[in-house]
Every structure is written in structure tokens, then in C-alpha cells.
Chains A and B, each alone.
Chain A
Amino acid sequence: MREPLLEFRDVVLPGRGTQVSLAVLPHRAVSIVGAEASGVDAMPDYALALRRPATGQVVVYGEDVGSLSPRAALAFRRRVGYLPAGDALLQNLSLRDNVALPLRYGSNMTDREIQGRLQVILALLRIADVADARPAEANEEQRRRTALCRALVFDPQLLILADPFDGLTTRAAAELYEIARGGETGEGARRTVFMTGQFVPERIEQRIEVRYRLAGGTLEQVH
């Protein structure tokens, strides 16, 4: 039996106070869809130890993230890819520097190595030609591609996406989702994906292994 990469154990969400228990197994994509008031938005924060749930436990890579010291929490977060809702790109940096920032801060790569890594990942997300623009000069899709680029820059095993498809066309959303999965292996997706939001396009739903709906104060598995 494979150990889950991410596990919510009796976690009570803000809002309606829904109690949530679920496990995300490696090589699986798991989505939770719920209205804004359902408290679904808090789940990525809990998983990244940005906030602590009032009750319950969140375990990532086998470790209770609520018990991490602030310094250990920073190191832990560098092992998880995260696409926040609304991109949250740094406005005073170019798209390229936004992607480079975690590499510059969190690795001992030389500038040359960082530039090499950037070339590959910017080309993969098809934003190399706009990489020198500031976020305010880019359109919503380019900003989302940049934010995903930034989340993937360390090639994490686990990727957490918050409202990833908001404001995107179905075609762009499907493309980004496939990049997020990182290709296929015999066991499923190369990367484990946990996503939350208010909706998932139907075309993408078919490619998600486990789907939940958070409604009426309960978490219900729909697939």
C-alpha cells in the first residue's frame, strides 16, 4: 500500500465548519470543488502550513506540517509546488525574474545554471517571448502560465493548485493541467496534483482520478 503524499485528518474548515478527511495518493490528481463559503480556499493554506487548522492534522510527505518550526516550514514549502489563486506574481519583477526567484533564493545553482533551467521551463509553458514583461503588461493567461512555471521550477513531486482555471479558456486550462501532471507513468500522472476551486471544466474533469465536492457542510466523493 503506497503512503499518501498529502492527508487531511479530521480537519475542520472555516466557514461552515465542514470536517474533512481525505488522502491524496502519489501519481493521482485530486480535485475539490466548492463554493467560496465552503472553506475550500483554506485547504491549500493548510497543506502548505501557511495557516493551521483549528482542529485536525495535515500530513504532507509523512510529516505533520502543523508542528513544523517557521524555518522548517520554509524549507518544506520549497519541496511543494504551489499555484496560488490570482497568480500572486511580484509586480516589480519581470515574468522571468518571478520564475527565477525561488531558484535564486532556494538553490545553490549558479546564474548560468538558473538561466539554463529558465530557458527550458519558459519554453515549456510557452512564455519565453513575453518573459521580460512585467505582470501588469501580460494578459491573464500569460500570468497564470508564469505562476505555474514558478510552481514547477523545482520539479516538485506534489503540486497544489488553488483556483487554477479561473478566467482561462478551456483549451488553455486543459494545456496547463497536462503540464501540471508532468506526463504519464505506468502508475498515473508523473506528478501528484491536488487542486481546489469553485469549478473545473468538464474536459479536465475526465482527466482527474479522484474528484470531491464540498457542499452542504459535507465532503462527498463524486468520482
Chain B
Amino acid sequence: MRRVALVGALARFFFEALTAIPGITRAGRRVASRVLLQQVWFTALQAIVLVVLLAAILSFLVISQATRELGRLGASELIGRLMVVVIVRELGPLVTALAVAGRSGTAIAAELATNKVMGEVNALRAMGIDPVHYHVLPRLGAVMLSLFGLIILFDLVAIFAGLVAAGSAGMTSARYFEIVLASLTFRDVWITAVKGLVFGLIVGLLPCFHGLRIRGVSTEVPIASSQAAVGTIVTIFVCSGLFVVLLT
């Protein structure tokens, strides 16, 4: 019953965020843009090294093993499909979303929960500033943009790391790009893009929700952070499963 109430509260929070968008003034948009840029700096730019590292290692491990095993079976052209379906379409969005959830999602939840404890959220309301405009919408937008960009980066790095792995197993770069590009369809690209936006929404929304729903006691800050992390990870996996069921 508590879970159902939680989902209901989350849906209401999302609806409130959506309905707050038209109410933001021109001056409010300028203020929100500043917060959005700061959040993009933290969520996207400062996470580039982590995402590059994850993409390179993951892709190198998968493709080097696959090249060897599939080569023995004489099916090395399947590396292209493996790269597109497993790395670009499935693991790219999933791993990037998990990395951003762990790195930025928990930070957003902890930051907003601390703001609530320190009376900053109430102070914003007292100044005539809607906390949804100042805290939620810029973070939501920034995380969606950042995650979308980071997924593209992940996929590009993964493809080039796959080239290194395939090259070390004796495959030429021309052959590698030929089979990878032949396997890549427009459908793979839009599924990846939609996943980027949906995962971005989840990673942006849930931490804001958990951070702002505490009642104002400092012991609730780590709880909010932990609930945000767990909730985000579970939701990302569930959505990832739904994408497979509905779109493939």
C-alpha cells in the first residue's frame, strides 16, 4: 500500500513539474537557465572521463572476447550486430544512466534534502520563487540533456574501443566499420535516443522527488539519497526491460 502511495505521490510531483512550466516568467527562465548550466557542468562535463572509461573498457572486453569466440565459429560478421544491439542500443543507455544516477542522482537528492532541512526551500517560497522553477525544472532539463549527450559519447567511444579490440584480434578497420555500419539501422538510433530521454527523465525526476519530500529533519538526508539511488536504479532496469518487450 505504501508503494502505491509513493508511486501516486511521484506521479503528482511529475504532474506539478509539468504544469509549472507555463507559469515560469522570462526573468524566471533566466535564473533557471543559470541553474541548468551549472547542473550540466556537473552532470555531463565532469562525468565525461568516467563515461569514456566505462565505454572503452566494457566495449573492449565484450568485442575482444566475441571476436575470438565468433572467429572460431566462422561468424565474425556477427560482431557488428553484437556491437549495435548489445553495446550501442542496450548497454550504452543502461550503463550511462546507472553511472549518472550513482554520480549525479544521489548528489541531487542529498543537495535538495539538505536545502529543505536548512529552510532554503521555504525561503525560496517566501521570496516568491517557486521551488519547482528553481530546483526541479532546471535539474530535470539538465539531466535529460546530459544523459542524452553522454549516451552518444558512450556509443561513439564504445565503437572505437571495439575497433581496437577487433584490430588486436586481426580484423582490419575497414572490415570492422563495414560490418558495424551494415548492422546499424535507423531504428537502433531512435530507440537509443528515446532511451536517453526516458532514462534522463527518471534520473532527473526521482532524486528531486526524494530530496524534496523529506519533512525537514537532517537524519532524513542520507535516507532520501539512498531511496533516490535505489528507486532510480530499479526504475531504469524496469524501463530497460519494457523497452525490450515493447520495441524489439
- Residues on A lying within 8 angstroms of B by beta carbon are 48, 50, 70-71, 74-78, 82, 84-86, 88-92, 101-102, 104-108, 150
Contacts and interface: CB of A to CB of B under 8 A. Distances in A.
A197 to B, nearest CB: 16
B13 interface: no
A60 B129 CA distance: 19
A88 B26 contact: no
A74 B27 CA distance: 14
Interface stretch (B114-122, B138-146, B170-178, B207-215): B114-122
A167 to B, nearest CB: 15
A89 B134 CA distance: 14
B26, B127, B134: most-surrounded residue (chain A CB, <10 A):
B127
B34 to A, nearest CB: 8
Contacts of A85: 119
A150 B23 contact: no
A102 to B, nearest CB: 5
Interface residues of B, number: 24
Given A88-B120, A91-B120, A106 B125 contact: no
Contacts of A74: 125, 128-130
Contacts of B127: 77-78, 82, 101-102, 105-106, 150
A77 B27 contact: no
A50 B126 contact: yes
B27 A104 contact: yes
Nearest to A104: B31
B128 A50 contact: no
Interface string B92-125: 0000000000000000000100110011101111
Nearest to A82: B126
Contacts of B27: 104-108
Contacts of B123: 84, 88-90
B187 interface: no
B116 to A, nearest CB: 11
A85 B123 CA distance: 10
B241 interface: no
B8 interface: no
11 contacts: A71-B23, A76-B128, A77-B127, A86-B118, A88-B118, A91-B120, A101-B31, A105-B25, A105-B127, A105-B129, A108-B27
B184 to A, nearest CB: 42
Contacts of A77: 125-128
Contact of B128 (A78, A88, A91): A78
Given A106-B27, A107-B27, A50 B119 contact: no
Contacts of A105: 25, 27-28, 31, 127-129, 133-134
B30 interface: yes
A91 B26 CA distance: 25
B23 A91 contact: no
A76 B128 CA distance: 7
Nearest to B128: A78
A89 B126 CA distance: 12
A104 B29 CA distance: 10
